């Protein structure tokens, strides 16, 4: 009798275990998408890499030459410039110490100076906000260190979205 119970147990336990394996779902994978009409259904597990957030920061670059051009302007004391694709993000410390906003004439000078120095830049975002200046300086140092920084892209995106909410 024990031999029959043991045999039954060894047959049913693996069957129950394997039946439970079909219940796995990956909530972050998104919905399966069909490609090619009647073709096979392929689950899109790399959706995050095509998001706008990832595409904004996959090539962050410190622009030393552009920083030098901006600092040459009479109203600018210092600057940090990081480009992402065709966009330049500029944090400036103004000579008058204004941290609320960049005057329109200074903004226009910075924008035209950057676009003249680098023809591939199509959009320029400028801020003199003290928090933005500190964060951009920190990002600049991290990027120049050459070490991989986990979460840098997400942090940078958050900073840009907070500083320039109308442009996102």
CB 26 within 8 A of CB 19: no
Q: 141-157 in b/e burial notation, b at 16+ Cβ within 10 A?
A: ebbeeeeeeeeebebbb
Q: Where are the domains of the chain?
A: 58-167
Report field, pTM of the whole predicted structure over 0.75: no
In this structure, which topology does domain 58-167 adopt according to CATH? GMP Synthetase; Chain A, domain 3 (3.30.300)
Banded model confidence at residue 32, pLDDT cuts 50, 70, 90: very low
pLDDT of 146-168, one tens digit each? 777 788 888 888 999 999 887 65
152 half-sphere exposure, CB direction, 13 A CA radius: 20
Q: Which residues fall within 8 angstroms of residue 33, CB to CB, at 6 or more apart? A: 41, 42, 43, 44
Distance separating alpha carbons of residues 54 and 123, to the nearest angstrom: 18
Q: Is the pLDDT of residue 67 over 90?
A: yes
């Amino acid at each position: 009798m024990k031999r029959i119970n043991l045999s039954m147990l060894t047959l049913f336990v693996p069957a129950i275990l394997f039946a439970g394996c079909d219940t796995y779902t990956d909530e972050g994978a998104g919905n399966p998408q069909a490609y090619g009409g009647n073709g096979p259904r392929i689950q899109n597990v790399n959706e995050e890499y095509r998001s706008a957030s990832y595409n904004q920061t996959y090539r962050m670059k410190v622009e030393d030459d552009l920083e030098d051009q901006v600092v040459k302007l009479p109203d600018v004391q210092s600057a940090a410039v990081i480009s992402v694709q065709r966009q330049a993000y500029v944090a400036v410390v103004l000579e008058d110490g204004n941290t609320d906003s960049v005057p329109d004439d200074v903004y226009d000078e910075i924008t035209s100076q950057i676009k003249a120095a680098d023809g591939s830049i199509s959009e320029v975002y400028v801020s003199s906000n003290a928090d933005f200046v500190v964060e951009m300086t920190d990002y600049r140092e991290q990027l120049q260190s050459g070490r991989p920084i986990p979460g840098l892209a997400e942090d940078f995106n958050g900073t840009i979205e907070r500083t320039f909410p109308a442009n996102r």
